Chain A
Amino acid sequence: MNSTNAASLEFRNRRSRALGVFAKNWALFFLLFLVGVFSFTGRGFFSVNNFQNIIHLSTIFLLLSAAETYVIITGGIDLSVGFVMGLSSVLSAKVMQVIHASGAPQPTSILIGSLVGIGIGLVPGIISGLLIARFKVPPFIATLGMWGITNGITLRICQGFPVSFLPSKLTEIGNGFLIYIWPGKSFSFFHKPFGVQNAQIRELVRIFPYSLVFSLIVLFLLWHVLKNTKFGQHTYAIGGSMDASVRAGIDARRHLLMVYTLSSFLAGLAGVFNVFQTGIGNFTPFNAMYELFAIAGVVIGGASLMGGKGSILGSCVGVVLIRLLENGLSISGVEPFFRFIAVGLILIMAVVIDQLFPELF
C-alpha cells in the first residue's frame, strides 16, 4: 500500500518534472517543432544554406536582443537600440565614404569607420545611463528621449538616404564564409578556392558565415559575463531588488550606467556589422520597430520585464524563433502579413505560459 503510494508519487513527481522541463524550455521545443513543420511545408527550408541564411539575417537582432537582455534583467528597458544602431551604421558609413573618396586604402577607411561607429554607440548609452542612474529618470522616458535624438541626428547625417559608395571589401568581409568546399576538387578557408569560375560558384559549399562566427563570439562573451562574473551577478541582483542590492554594497548607479552603456555599445556594434553585411549605411526606418522586436525576443526567451530574470541563451532562442518563423512562413508561401500576427500570438503565449506556471521560473 505504502510502497504503491510512494511509487505513484514518484511517478507523478517525475511527470510534473518532465512537464516542468518542457514548459521551461517551451520556446526551444516550439523552435524544434517549427523546424519540423516547415521542413514539410517549405521546399528547401531544411538545408544548411537556409539555416545559415537565417543566422546571417538574425545577427543584428541577436546583438540587439542581447543588449536588451542585460537592460531588462535590471528591470529597465532600452527603446533607443534600434536608432542607435542606425546612427552608428550611418556615421561609420559616412566616415568610410569620406576617407575612401579621399583615396586612402580600403582597410584604413574600413577600420577608422568601424571604430568611429562603435565609439559613437557608447555616447547615447552613457547619456541615458546617467539620466537613469543619477537623475532617476524612468528608463522608458530616458531611452525614448535618446530614441528621438539619435533618430534625428541619423537623418541629419544621411539626409534621409542610405549612405553608399563604400569600399567594396566591406561586403566581402560581411558576407564571407569561414570554409569553402568545392566538392571533389578542393577546399579553402576565408576565400573562394583558386580557379572557381563565376559559373561554377553554385557548386561551392560554403559553411560558417562570418556573421555566425561573429555572433557566436560576442554572444559567448556576453553569456559568460552574465552567467559567471560578478558583473552578471550584480545585474541580476539589481533587477531582483534595487534596495537589497544597494544594501549589499553594490554601486547600483555605476552598474546601471555600465549596463546602459553596454546595451548602446552592442547596438553600435550591430550598426557597424550591418554596414559590413549590406555594404551601405542604413538609417533605421521609422516603423522598423527593431527595439520592440528585440524586446519580444527577450521576453519569449523567458525574461520578465519586472527584472531579475532572463538569460542570453533564452534571448537567442527567442530571436531565432521569430526569424525562423518569418523565414519558414515565407518559404512555405504564406503571405507576409500572417507573420506579424504569428509573432504577436507567440509573444502572448510566452507570457501566458510564464503566468500559468510561475513555479517553473
Chain B
Amino acid sequence: MVNTTDIKSTKRLLLFLGRRWALLFLLFEAILFSVIARGFFTVNVAQIIFFYGTSIFLLGTAETFVIITGGIDLSVGFVMGFASIVSAKLIVFLNNSGLSPGLSIVAGVLITFAIGLIPGYVNGTLVARLKVPPFIATFSMLAITHGTSELLIRGVPATNLPYLANAIGNGYFIYYVPGRVISLFVKPVIERGEYFLELIPNVVVFTFIFILIFAFILRWSKFGQHTYAVGGSVDAAVRAGINVRKHLVKTYMLSSFFATISGTIYVLQYVTGKADAGAPFLLDAIVAVVIGGASLYGGIGTVGGTLLGCLILSVLETGLRVMGVPTFDKYIAVGVILIFAVLIDQFFPELTHKGD
C-alpha cells in the first residue's frame, strides 16, 4: 500500500524545489565550479562576480520593468554606451573648465541621468501614443543612440577622466587591516607587504542601492501594482482607471534610467566611455529576466528573480574564466539554460504561479 500522504508530501517537496529551480541551479553551479575550478571559491572571486556583474544587474532590472508590462527594450545596451560617453565627456569638460574633480563627477553624473531619460521618453511615447510595437520602437532607439554616441566620440573612446573616477569605481566600501584599522570608502595607509582586506566594491553598493529601491517600488507601491496590471491586461488596466499611456512612458523612462546608471558606473569602473559598452549585455539581460521567471507576455516577473538570473549568468562566465575555458561555451550554456527555463514553465504551469 502506498501512503497517500507520502505522495502528497513528495509532490509538495518537488513543487517547493521546482519553484526554486533557479536558486538551486545557482547553488549547483557555484558548487560545481568550486569543485572543478581551482581558486573559484574565494572572497575575491565572489567580489569579481558582483563587480563585473553590475552592468547586467542594472540592465536586467531595467528590462524587468518593461517585460512585466508585456514589452521589450532592445535599446538598453546602447543607451548604456550612450550614457557612458555622455557622462565621460561631461565629467572631462566640467573638470577642464575649473570644477573640482569631485564636483565635476557628481554634476556630470547627475546631468547624464537627466539626459538618459530622453531615449526612454521617446521609446515610451512611440510605444504608448503611436502604438509602435516595442520591439521596433526600441530597436530604432538602439540604432539612434548607437549612431549618436559614435558621432559624439568619432571613433576614439572618451578618456582623460580625473583620477578620482578610478578611485571611486575601483574602490571598496570597507578596508580592513587586521588588528589595526577599519576604514570606509577611503583606503588607509598600508605598509608594503602588510595584509589587508578589501570588501564590497563601491560600484556594487551603488548598484544595489538603486536596485533595492526599485525592487521595493515594484513590490509594494502603486506604481508597481500598475505595472503588473498593465502587463496582465491593458484593457482591464484601462477600465480600472489606470492611465496606461502615461504609465508605459514612465516604465520605458525607468528602463532607460537604469541603463544610464549602468553607463555611468561603467565610466567609473573602466575610466572610459565606449559606444558599445553595453552591447554584449543586451540579450544577456533579457535572458536573465526570463530565467528569473518573467513571462514575455507580461504580468509576471520580479526583480529578485531577475537578480538570480543575472547571478546564474555571471557565475557561469566567471567560473569558465577561472577554469581557463574559452568563454565561447558560455553562449551554449546560456542558450540551453534559457530553453530549459521556459520548458520547466511549460511542463509545470503550476510552478509559475509563485504560491499566491
Residues of A within 8 A of B (CB): 77, 131, 135-138, 140-142, 144-153, 155-156, 159-160, 286-287, 292, 295-296, 299, 305-306, 335-345, 347-348, 350-352, 355
Q: Is there an interface contact between A287 and B276, defined as CB atoms closer than 8 Å?
A: yes
Cα–Cα, bound, A335→B279 (Å): 21
Cα–Cα, bound, A149→B333 (Å): 7
Cα–Cα, bound, A147→B342 (Å): 15
Choice from B130, B142, B339, B346 contacting A344 with Cβ under 8 Å: B142
Q: List the B side residues contacting A155 at CB < 8 Å.
A: 326, 328, 331
Question: In chain B, residues 137-185, which have Cβ atoms closer than 8 Å to a Cβ of chain A?
Answer: 137, 139-144, 146-148, 150-151, 154
Q: List the B side residues contacting A151 at CB < 8 Å.
A: 328, 331, 335
Q: Is there an interface contact between A148 and B133, defined as CB atoms closer than 8 Å?
A: no
- Asked if B43 is an interface residue, CB under 8 A from chain A, the answer is no
Q: Is there an interface contact between A305 and B135, defined as CB atoms closer than 8 Å?
A: yes
Cα–Cα, bound, A335→B331 (Å): 34
Q: Is there an interface contact between A160 and B328, defined as CB atoms closer than 8 Å?
A: yes
Contacts A137-B343, A155-B326, A156-B329 given; does A341 touch B148 at CB 8 Å:
yes
Which B residue sits closest to A304, measured CB to CB? B133
Q: Is there an interface contact between A149 and B335, defined as CB atoms closer than 8 Å?
A: yes
Cα–Cα, bound, A141→B140 (Å): 21
Smallest beta-carbon distance A286→chain B, Å: 6
Question: In chain B, residues 304-356, which have Cβ atoms closer than 8 Å to a Cβ of chain A?
Answer: 326, 328-336, 338-339, 342-343, 346
Q: Is there an interface contact between A149 and B336, defined as CB atoms closer than 8 Å?
A: yes
Binds A, one of B18-26, B31-39, B280-288: B280-288
Cα–Cα, bound, A152→B329 (Å): 6
Choice from A148, A337, A341, A342 contacting B331 with Cβ under 8 Å: A148
Q: List the A side residues contacting B133 at CB < 8 Å.
A: 305-306, 351
Choice from A131, A147, A344 contacting B141 with Cβ under 8 Å: A344
Which A residue sits closest to B290, measured CB to CB? A141
Contacts A286-B279, A341-B148 given; does A149 touch B143 at CB 8 Å:
no
Cα–Cα, bound, A148→B331 (Å): 5
Q: Is there an interface contact between A337 and B283, defined as CB atoms closer than 8 Å?
A: no
Choice from A145, A296, A344, A347 contacting B147 with Cβ under 8 Å: A344
Q: Is there an interface contact between A355 and B330, defined as CB atoms closer than 8 Å?
A: no
Question: Which range contains the number of B residues in contact with the other chain?
Answer: 35 or more
Smallest beta-carbon distance B137→chain A, Å: 7
Q: Is there an interface contact between A142 and B339, defined as CB atoms closer than 8 Å?
A: yes
Contacts A145-B336, A299-B136 given; does A152 touch B331 at CB 8 Å:
yes
Q: Is there an interface contact between A348 and B335, defined as CB atoms closer than 8 Å?
A: no
Smallest beta-carbon distance A158→chain B, Å: 9
Q: List the A side residues contacting B146 at CB < 8 Å.
A: 340
Which A residue sits closest to B146, measured CB to CB? A340
Smallest beta-carbon distance B355→chain A, Å: 23
Choice from A136, A142, A148, A306 contacting B332 with Cβ under 8 Å: A148
Smallest beta-carbon distance B234→chain A, Å: 14
Q: List the B side residues contacting A137 at CB < 8 Å.
A: 339, 342-343, 346
- Asked if B296 is an interface residue, CB under 8 A from chain A, the answer is yes
Q: Is there an interface contact between B147 and A152, defined as CB atoms closer than 8 Å?
A: no
Q: List the A side residues contacting B329 at CB < 8 Å.
A: 152, 156
Q: List the B side residues contacting A338 at CB < 8 Å.
A: 147, 151
Q: List the B side residues contacting A352 at CB < 8 Å.
A: 126, 130, 132
Q: Is there an interface contact between B331 and A355, defined as CB atoms closer than 8 Å?
A: no
Choice from B137, B139, B144, B346 contacting A136 with Cβ under 8 Å: B346
Contacts A138-B296, A140-B296, A152-B328 given; does A147 touch B283 at CB 8 Å:
yes
Q: Is there an interface contact between A145 and B335, defined as CB atoms closer than 8 Å?
A: yes
Q: Is there an interface contact between B139 and A296, defined as CB atoms closer than 8 Å?
A: yes
Q: Is there an interface contact between B139 and A292, defined as CB atoms closer than 8 Å?
A: yes
- Asked if B93 is an interface residue, CB under 8 A from chain A, the answer is no
Q: Is there an interface contact between A347 and B139, defined as CB atoms closer than 8 Å?
A: yes
- Asked if B206 is an interface residue, CB under 8 A from chain A, the answer is no
Cα–Cα, bound, A77→B297 (Å): 14
Q: List the A side residues contacting B72 at CB < 8 Å.
A: 140
Most A CB contacts (10 A, CB to CB) among B144, B279, B333 go to B144
22 contacts between A and B (CB under 8 A): A131-B343, A137-B346, A140-B296, A141-B290, A142-B339, A148-B287, A148-B331, A148-B336, A152-B332, A153-B332, A155-B331, A156-B326, A160-B328, A287-B276, A292-B74, A292-B139, A337-B151, A341-B147, A347-B140, A351-B133, A352-B126, A355-B132
